[in-house]
Chain A
Amino acid sequence: MNRFWAFVTKEFYHIIRDYRTLLILFGLPAIQLLLFGYVITNEIKDAKIAIYDPSKDVVTRKISDKILSSGYFILERNLSHVSEAGDAFRYGEVNLVLVYEPDFAQKLEKTGKAHIQIIGDASDPNTANMLVNYASGIINNYLISINSEKLPYQIIPEVRMMYNGELKGVFMFVPGLMAMLLTLISALMTSLAITKEKELGTMELLLVSPLRPGQIIIGKVFPYVFLAFIDAIIIIIIGNTVFGVPVRGSVFLLLAESLLYICMALSLGILISSITSSQQIAMMISLVALMLPTILLSGFIFPIENMPWILQVLCYMMPPKYFISIIKSIMLQGNSLVFVWKETLVVIGFTTVFLVMSVKKFNVRLA
């Protein structure tokens, strides 16, 4: 046991003395969270629009005012002809074009009908869809307001947004970023640490030492459990103090789950390092194979329910998915273990599988 601790101490020195890596390791999550917390929102704000208004009467001006004062849109330019819409889109300066028909107010007065055309730049379909929805919503509201006294039988929706009243994007990003950073840092760092010994040839030295292979691996991994755990705490603290992401459930449970997840990622790292021999390959596997799937297939940005079923099956094979739903459940919904025991079991399952596989793959002899 004494030998083992000596080994762990050696590993700690290794890491702590490499102050650059250490700086990156702790600076990185903090900076990213701060950056993304402020920057990335799914809400629409200040989308640029162009307006073609040939009639320029009271009604069209009022509608334009309503749209521009909503906060969703800002006026980029007024078109003098409809055909300019295509140029504006192609140049990429506007996302939405609003076209009023000529003699708008007059027609509305006389025939009771007038047309507005909303053209969205659907080369970005997500944004286009939302913008068109917002714009037509605003016009509809205006319509209701001019007709309000005459409208009978109104059903009014009363909307309550649960768990995230202001629809803040940060609420999605804290759990997502946590899963991504913990997966990548833990899996990457361990796989690199072990393959580095192989590459430099020092693994041989370790293998002929009286330490058992299991002890070597645990000793190598141990410091990273510690580091990743600190990262998790940093993320939770920044999320809470700077962005007001609440921890409604038990903090202890949250930390325990994070620790469990870190172990899962580390055992994945061990597995990667046991099947590769160079740092470059270990890194390519962890980054190329893990990065986009953790962003896209985990429910981090895109909701899993909307995907085709075959992808949903794939999502169920992604460990981050479970971690993200555990974190959301504990932090935002304030749930206890009773609500997340299934996901927890899955993460434990992944850990065991990765460990068993890497033990089987682990070679005491090199080359």
Chain B
Amino acid sequence: MRTILYIIQKEFLQVFRNRAMLPIIFILPIVQLIILVNAATFEMKHIRLSVVDLDLSSTSRGLISKFEGSPFYQIKQFSFSYHEAENQMQHGKVDMILNIPRGFEKKLLIENCVKVQFIVNAINGASAGLCNAYATMILMDYNRQIIAENKTISAMVLPQNILTDYSYWYNPKLNYKTYMVPGILVLLVTIIGLLLSGMNIVREKEIGTIEQINVTPINKIQFIAGKLTPFWIIAIFELAFGLSLGKLIFNIPMEGNLWLIFISAAVYLFVILSFGLLISTVTNTQQQAMLVSFFFMVVFILMSGLFTSIESMPQWAQTLDKLNPLMYFIRIMRMVLLKGSGFNDISRHFWALVIYAAGILTLAVWRYRKVA
């Protein structure tokens, strides 16, 4: 036990004496958390709209004023040529074109049915989908209003009406920050933890100091435990600090039991740190270790379900995702913090992490050889 304590002491000294590392470990992630949380939103505001109104009737103007009144749209430009509007889109100056054809009003009154065109810049598929949904909603609204204004027919309209109301549970205002703070915090802690541990042993290999440890009586388990514990403490501390900041600055809800969060975090960090040590033992240079960690980190992050939903991935990818520790922990964070889930709700994710931790720790210890 004393041996482990000595290694822990050595590692701590190494971290805290490195003046350049300290701000990177402690300040940078917090700054990033505060800044980046604001960036992660799909909420659409100010969609830049170009209007091509060839009809210039009261009906077409009514429709345009509906768009003007909507908080989602911002009319950038009116023109009389579709070609010109499309040119603006090509230049990336507008996101959507509303094209009202000539004879719009007449056709509506005579033929009872008319088309307007929405042309959406769809390079970002998700935004385009939302943009289209909002526009359709505005149009349907306007359509209903026209019908209502025409008294003679409004009496007979919609004999059967299904009213849909929606409610958003756990986050009625759809505040993206409450969702992103825990998520991004986990990402940051993961990045720091994986890098610190991933670089650790391989650095000693590269500099040659590993030889000195190899000839000491320290055994494998003591060595790995001594290497893991300091980073584990740093990461837990960072998580706690980030959560408190999230509570203070963004007022994120904490519905569930915080112990549940920290116990899961403890297990999760074992997974990540052992993973880092495993990388460290199988690579020869820091460069390699870094590339490997980078690869796994990007895969873990983008498949974690934080930015895109897991259900829409193909089945094989969802199966593959079972190997992604980040996915489990982000789910646990979200469930406990936002929905107040109890241990029964998260138990399957929790046990998955426990098994993962046990497996990968064994692998790391087994793979580490006390030879150069």
Central interface residue in A139, A157, A333, by most chain B CB within 10 Å? A157
The reply to whether the CB of A214 lies closer than 8 angstroms to some CB of chain B is no
List A270-315 residues whose CB lies under 8 Å from chain B.
276, 278-281, 283-285, 287-289, 291-293, 295-297, 301-303, 305-308, 311, 314-315
The reply to whether the CB of B235 lies closer than 8 angstroms to some CB of chain A is no
Alpha-carbon distance between A307 and B215 when the two chains are bound, in angstroms: 56
CB neighbours of B117 from chain A (8 A) = 157-160
Asked if A188 and B294 sit within 8 Å, CB to CB, the answer is yes
Alpha-carbon distance between A117 and B166 when the two chains are bound, in angstroms: 6
The reply to whether the CB of B118 lies closer than 8 angstroms to some CB of chain A is yes
Q: Which of A5-13, A119-127, A202-210, A348-356 is near enough to bind chain B?
A: A119-127
B53 to chain A minimum Cβ distance, whole angstroms, is 14
List B293-326 residues whose CB lies under 8 Å from chain A.
294-295, 297-299, 301-303, 307-309, 311-314, 317
**Proximity bits, B333-372, A CB within 8 Å = 1, else 0:** 0110011111011100000000000000000000000000
Asked if A155 and B120 sit within 8 Å, CB to CB, the answer is no
Asked if B39 and A123 sit within 8 Å, CB to CB, the answer is no
A156-B115, A189-B287 are contacts. A40–B39 as well, Cβ < 8 Å? no
**Proximity bits, B92-134, A CB within 8 Å = 1, else 0:** 1001000000000000110011111111111111111110110
Alpha-carbon distance between A319 and B336 when the two chains are bound, in angstroms: 37
Alpha-carbon distance between A23 and B115 when the two chains are bound, in angstroms: 55
Asked if B133 and A119 sit within 8 Å, CB to CB, the answer is no
Interface residues on B, range: 35 or more
B295 to chain A minimum Cβ distance, whole angstroms, is 5
List A86-117 residues whose CB lies under 8 Å from chain B.
86, 89-92, 95, 108-109, 112-117
Alpha-carbon distance between A307 and B177 when the two chains are bound, in angstroms: 12
Partner of A89, one of B38, B39, B91, B169: B169
A90-B345, A108-B160, A196-B287 are contacts. A42–B112 as well, Cβ < 8 Å? no
Asked if B167 and A287 sit within 8 Å, CB to CB, the answer is no
A30 to chain B minimum Cβ distance, whole angstroms, is 11
CB neighbours of B298 from chain A (8 A) = 32, 180, 291
CB neighbours of B95 from chain A (8 A) = 305
The reply to whether the CB of B89 lies closer than 8 angstroms to some CB of chain A is yes
CB neighbours of A85 from chain B (8 A) = 169
CB neighbours of B162 from chain A (8 A) = 63, 108, 113-116, 139, 142-143
Asked if A47 and B164 sit within 8 Å, CB to CB, the answer is no
A124-B179, A188-B290, A288-B24 are contacts. A305–B46 as well, Cβ < 8 Å? yes
**Proximity bits, B256-271, A CB within 8 Å = 1, else 0:** 0000000000000000
The reply to whether the CB of B248 lies closer than 8 angstroms to some CB of chain A is no
B312 to chain A minimum Cβ distance, whole angstroms, is 4
Central interface residue in A35, A42, A192, by most chain B CB within 10 Å? A42
Q: Which of B1-9, B142-150, B220-228 is near enough to bind chain A?
A: B142-150
A-B contact pairs, 18 of them (CB 8 A): A39-B314, A40-B308, A47-B309, A117-B164, A121-B170, A123-B338, A130-B130, A153-B108, A153-B150, A155-B108, A156-B114, A171-B123, A287-B290, A289-B28, A292-B188, A295-B301, A297-B39, A308-B38
Nearest first, the 4 A-B pairs at minimum CB distance are A42-B126, A167-B125, A122-B168, A161-B122
